[in-house]
Structures are given as structure tokens and as C-alpha cells.
Amino acid sequence: MRRTNLTAATDSESWVGLGLELRHATGPGLRPEVADGNRIVLSQGPDAVLLARIDDDRGGVEYSRTDYYRSPVAPLRATEVRALAGGGRPYWYARWAHRFADALEASPLGPLHEGRWVLAREGVTRTGDGPVGPWRSLLLDDHPDGCIDWSTGSRGIMPLRQLRPPDGGRVKAYRKQAREGILPPVLLWWFSGLHCYVILDGHARLVAAVAEDREPAVLVLSRARSEEQTRTGRDKALSDHHLTMSILDGPHPVADREGAARSASHLLATQLHRLEVDYAPTRAWPTQRT
């Protein structure tokens, strides 16, 4: 698997994500399957871990989880967590991204398949009601059954297994790490078929962070645009930039030409960056189940 460190659009020293490219055809262990245009099954090996049905009016989806989900990431040892200390800093996210990429590449239980992916530093939009307010409002923890209302436009966060209680043994250990500022990131996967994130690894870590009223650190795995899509978008962004600069350099005076040129360059950098990190649709397969 080829890896590329991705930096911020306007700061080449700030790490924001890890580009992954799988050249060889691989069948993912965790894969969405579809049937009849409105039924979705999330399968992991021979097991169905989630069953969903899209509403006829396409306004939302009802789902049910089965408790068969298994994380593609082995349990994290306390010694490893402390060795990778540096919570919240870009290099800390980068270390954990490579650690998760190693696990996803080696595991037969994860969603990776041939193509381009991004494992990026992300955060839930703040709503002003505290560091974990958005997590409490977006967490789809109505286990095992629930529904997502797409008309609200919100991107929920779905556990793939029942969450542990805040006073459980493993959660208590993670709560201590949260207080120390070394709690590892939660690993999410963008699942466009449900228009939500699902938790690949870190169910207990998420509970621990929320219990300690701390915003969880997050890394999000998503499919990336294809090379052709990226190239087309890059060519258009560059063409638009060249057109803007030709106008600024033309015979007619432009107020604050230097400021306008800086803005145009910033826009170009942002557009090129988004081409690298924006989510692409999740791939699905025909269902093998009746």
C-alpha cells in the first residue's frame, strides 16, 4: 500500500491526513451490499453486522445492528499509547494514522479495497454547547434499532456494537488516559450509503472521552476521488486561476492587485487541497443474501 502524507492547504508543515493507495484488487472484509435499490447490508466476512432499509421517499433510513461486528484494529496496549504521546498535535495524529493504516492493511476485517483512500484528521462541528455536545447529539446509540432522518442534513455517528457503560472496566482505563491527554483517536469510516460515520475502532474510547466531557480526537477513513477525477478537478482549478491572474495582469487597473492575487492563490491552494481530502462515495456490492 502506497502512503502519502497530506498537509494543510496554506501550511505545508501542518499534517492533516494520510493518502492511501491500494494497487492490487482486494475484497474487503467489511463491505456494504445493496439490493432492490433500497436495502443495505453491511457484511463482515460471513456475518451481517447491520441491516438497513431506505425509506420509499428517500427521506431517511431505518437500520438494525446485530452485535457481530469485530474491530479490524487489535486492542491498544497502554505502553503503546504512552509511547505515542503528544495528544492533539499534528504529528500525534500522523503517528496514529500510520498505526491504523498498518492495522487496516493487515486485517481481513476492514473496509479497504483497491483504489485511493484518505485517513484524515477530522472534528465534529462545534455547536456552542460544550466540547462534547455535538457528539451527544449526533451519536446514534439507540441500540440495536434506529433510524436516520436525512432531511435534517446532519451526519450521525453510528456505533457498530453496543456501547459500554461509562463505569465499565475498559472505559475506566480509557477515562484515565483522557484525563492525562493521551487517549488515542477514535477511528471512523465515512459510509455514504447511510450518510453517516460508523465507528471502526474506539467505541470504548468514545464513551470515555464523552464521560470526561472532552472532545474525542478523531481520524476518518474515506474513499478518495479517482486519479481521473482529481486530474480533471486540478486542471479546472488551474485554468480558473490562470484566467484570474491574466485579468489581474491585464491592461485595466485593479484595486489592490496584490491582495486580489493573494486571495486567488489561497483559493487555488484550498481547491487543490479539497481534491485530495474530500469524501468520495462508498463503494457497494450486490448482496449475496436472501
Q: Are residues 74 and 207 in the same domain?
A: yes
Confirm whether pTM is higher than 0.75: yes
Residue with cell 492490487: 24
Q: Are residues 25 and 47 in the same domain?
A: yes
Strand 285-286 and strand 2-8: the pairing is: unpaired
Q: Are residues 85 and 143 in the same domain?
A: yes
Residue with cell 449475496: 288
Structure confidence at residue 192 (pLDDT): 92
Structure confidence at residue 266 (pLDDT): 65
**Which amino acid makes up residue 59?**
G
Q: Are residues 56 and 196 in the same domain?
A: yes
Q: Are residues 244 and 178 in the same domain?
A: no
Q: Are residues 207 and 265 in the same domain?
A: no
Q: Are residues 78 and 183 in the same domain?
A: yes
Cβ neighbours around 23 below 10 Å, total = 9
Q: Are residues 31 and 134 in the same domain?
A: yes
* Dihedral Cα 112, 201, 189, 54, nearest 10 deg: 110
Q: Are residues 172 and 58 in the same domain?
A: yes
Strand 196-201 and strand 156-158: the pairing is: parallel
Question: Rounded to an integer, what is the distance from CA 99 to the centroid of its chain?
Answer: 15
Of the candidates 47, 282, 49, the one whose C-alpha atom is nearest the C-alpha of residue 143 is: 49
Sign of CA dihedral 232, 235, 241, 242: negative
Structure confidence at residue 111 (pLDDT): 96
Q: Provide the residue-wise pLDDT of the chain in tens; the chain has 290 residues.
A: 899 998 876 666 688 899 999 987 678 999 999 988 789 999 999 999 999 999 998 899 999 999 999 999 999 998 999 988 776 788 899 999 999 999 999 999 999 999 999 999 875 544 444 567 777 788 898 889 999 999 876 688 999 999 999 998 889 999 999 999 999 999 999 999 999 999 999 999 999 999 999 989 999 999 987 677 667 767 786 777 777 878 778 787 777 777 877 887 767 666 666 667 678 899 999 887 65
Task: State whether residue 127 is helix, strand or coil.
Answer: coil
Q: Are residues 147 and 25 in the same domain?
A: yes
Cβ neighbours around 280 below 10 Å, total = 18
Q: How many domains does the chain contain in total?
A: 2
Q: Which domain holds residue 94?
A: 2-226+278-286
Measured distance CA(269)–CA(249) in Å, rounded: 20
Q: Are residues 130 and 58 in the same domain?
A: yes
Strand 285-286 and strand 47-54: the pairing is: unpaired
**Which residues, including other chains, have CB under 8 Å from residue 164's CB and lie 6 or more apart?**
170, 171, 203, 204, 207
C-alpha distances in Å from residue 147, one per residue of 154, 200, 289: 13, 19, 22
Q: Are residues 153 and 186 in the same domain?
A: yes
Structure confidence at residue 129 (pLDDT): 47
